[in-house]
Amino acid sequence: MSISIDYRGKTIVVIGGTSGINLGIAQAFARQQARVAVASRSKEKVDTAVAGLQELGAREARGFSADVRNPEAIHTGIAEIHSDWGELDAVISGAAGNFPATASGMSANAFKSVVDIDLLGTFHVMKAVYPFLKKPGASVINISAPQASLPMEAQSHVCAAKAGVDMITRCLAIEWGLEGIRINSIVPGPIDGTEGMARLAPTETARQTVIDSVPLKRMGQPDDIANACLFLCSELASYVNGAVIPVDGGWVQAGAGGMSHFLAEFARKH
């Protein structure tokens, strides 16, 4: 049986899809002529992203501004998309927050802010999209991080939050799999040109430290993550459910080099 990747007319939602990795994912689906909706806190960023998606060939493009920490706002935005476009074929949940900070130097509110965005935000998105997913046939992807499985200095808040995200993925793969919904996590490695790398590797020395620690000796590109999403949301991955898939050039397998120590030093100096 011949199976191809065809998203023409499919409805795709990318939460956090106005910048970085998540924008790259939305753009990839737009090139496939899907209907693409994006969401983030900034209405200006949403409007800019939607215009760009239309230029790339999206069948239709739209967006809404909402904070993942506000479950009502997320639900309202998703419900409006469903009202206009029908059941959701795929959802990518990628909103995230991060900054280098040692546990001893971090306030309770700082720790809570990352947990609220990464972990609670993921739960809010899952709750909001569930009633509107195509059953059976929908695919959901949570964008995780290497910190979910790799302890790092100055990243205890992110490690805790992203570990929770991956466990949500695994639990819902069981619950929602009964209705024919697949849910997986993608774990990006160091991705060039993103806000996350700008924060975690703000100097050329730090950037080179990251590159040296990747077995493939290069940073990834947003398209690397987008291509993995195109695969996972397609019929080619129809039996992939509950997987946590690194797309990182082997970075986690190699232990991320000296990145953990560098982050701790950076946090202590700032």
What is the pLDDT at residue 257? Answer: 63
Domain contains 54: yes
Question: For the chain, where are the E strands, in sequence order?
Answer: 11-15, 35-40, 60-65, 90-93, 139-143, 182-188, 244-247
What is the pLDDT at residue 184? Answer: 98
Query: 91 is written with which tokens?
Result: 């959802």
Domain contains 94: yes
Domain contains 3: no
Residue type, 48: T
pLDDT digit string, tens, across residues 102-115: 999 999 999 999 99
Domain contains 195: yes
- Rounded to 5°, the CA angle 108-157-119 comes to 100
The low-confidence residues of the chain, meaning pLDDT below 50, are: none
What is the pLDDT at residue 77? Answer: 98
* Domain coverage including residue 139: 11-269
What is the pLDDT at residue 262? Answer: 59
Distance CA 202, CA 187 (A): 21
What is the pLDDT at residue 6? Answer: 93
pTM, two decimal places:
0.94
Give the chain's domain count: 1
- Please provide the average confidence, as pLDDT, over all residues in the chain: 93
Angle at which helices 20-31 and 43-56 pack, to 10 degrees? 30
Residue 221 sits in a domain whose CATH number is 3.40.50.720
